[in-house]
Amino acid sequence: MPVTGPLQVARISPQEAVDGDYVIVDVRSPREFAEGHTPGAVNLPLLDDRQRAAVGSAYKTRGAQHARVLAMDAVSPGLPTYLRSLSLLARGGGRLAVMCWRGGERSRNVIVLLSTVGVHAAQVQGGYKAYRRWVLDGLEGWHPDRCVFTLYGHTGSGKTELLRLLARLDRPGRPRPWVIDLEGLALHRGSLLGGLHQPRERTQKDFDALVWDALRKPAGDYLVVEGEGGKIGKLFLPESVAALVRGGRPVLVEAEADVRADRILGEYRPESWGPEDVARFRRSLALIGERLDPEQARSLRRAYDDGRFRDVVLRLLVAYYDPLYQRSSVDGRAFVCTLQTGSDPRRDVRALADGLDRALEAQGSACSS
């Protein structure tokens, strides 16, 4: 009987996996995947968190051979179901690109197993570790090649909604905006209360990956972002992104306090909060209260306890957010465009686009970088 060599596994780079017609299958444990993964990847772990910890411990204490046997014992009972899931995924469209932590045994073993049922897959060279390095290197070396506008405005002025509508605005023959909603990618509205009423918390690794994915896919003639500090919630902006925010042509978005209060209540919907959101709000309110005089802090707590949410929002704007934002983001800036928003966001976004058109014309060649 002829002796055959080891199966040759096709290998592709992280960029090829992301940009090609591949379905990325991440076979790392759920905990590893939750800490960071490629956008759109499917997590089909070869070992669950408990099994992975046991195999890792065996590797350290009893060596590689014992750890491999333990891993096979853990995987074997569920192997038929596991392979069926992968086969179904392969039939759904696109070749499979299998990724583990470093492009080692986990991903290779899955590819070998897939070959026994006639499914051909590629291994992501270097695994998630190499993908993460590619993201960080890309972010570090990136700089804008077109004009950047940065939207500033007091809390509730409508910047986020303007960005969303601007991204969908269709104006044939006019300059096309390329919008990156950093707060949307971060799942955080940027303020001390910005993490409330969000589906989950974004990790730094996933935020970096999403930002890099957006930056390397230009989708318009000029870039529009919202003015942020160095952080959005707990997430740090990559330095290249923080620089483009700081260097963007500043645009001021304004609105009356009553309009802003209504907009904030519509976005946050405090009447629908569960116990966790209520607890987070109270903690945030306590932190804000430390920066107000005692009577203002007590008044805010009473208004919230009484269900007078609009009063709470208006008092927070006037006593805390507006003065803070005015000093940090408005005073001293020479705005190239100013927009007063109202109750009609579609009218507002058209007015913003017209204002940006005029600013582009005025900036001329100075807007090429």
Q: What residues are labeled active site?
A: 100
Alpha-carbon distance of 134 to 152, in angstroms, equals 31
- Structure token digits, residue 199: 């589906």
Q: How many angstroms separate the Cα of 161 from the Cα of each of 158, 183, 345, 369?
A: 5, 11, 8, 26
Beta strand pairing call for 95-99 and 121-124: parallel
Q: How many angstroms separate the Cα of 17 from the Cα of each of 34, 39, 45, 222?
A: 19, 11, 18, 28
Alpha-carbon distance of 309 to 265, in angstroms, equals 8
The values of phi and psi at residue 284, to 5°, are -65, -40
